[in-house]
Amino acid sequence: MKLKHPRAKGNRIQLKLIKKLREEGWLVAKTERVGKFIKEKDLFGIGDLICLKKVKDKTVIKIIQSTSSRPHTHKKYREFVEKFGEEYLKVEQHVWINRKGWKVFSY
């Protein structure tokens, strides 16, 4: 995936997050789809990115939603984790707060 310098704030925030995750050793793929007639734009309706990393001979999978300023409501993330969550499947919400940095919610 080629990284560009997007103009929209949400895209800039997502680009920062992708760069940060790659520096931490994660394999990152953008799953968010765009289009006028697409109803569900995020992966399972909860995430923009999917990340993979080997940790102690196990593959950890993260589904991550990136946003800025305010977190989304936590209900749909908790419901997804209750239904599908496993030890090596993580769901997180990364919120960029201006002049402060990242706030991470893990479910």
Full set of structural domains in the chain with CATH: 9-106 (3.40.1350.10)
Give residue for tokens 């593959």: 59
| Listed residue (65, 67, 66, 54) closest to 27, CA to CA | 54
- φ, ψ (nearest 5 deg) of residue 101: 110, -160
pLDDT of residue 3: 55
pLDDT tens for the 107 residues of the chain, in order: 555 555 677 788 999 999 999 999 999 999 877 667 766 677 787 899 999 999 889 999 999 999 988 888 899 999 999 998 888 899 999 999 988 999 999 99
Q: What is the pTM of this model?
A: 0.79
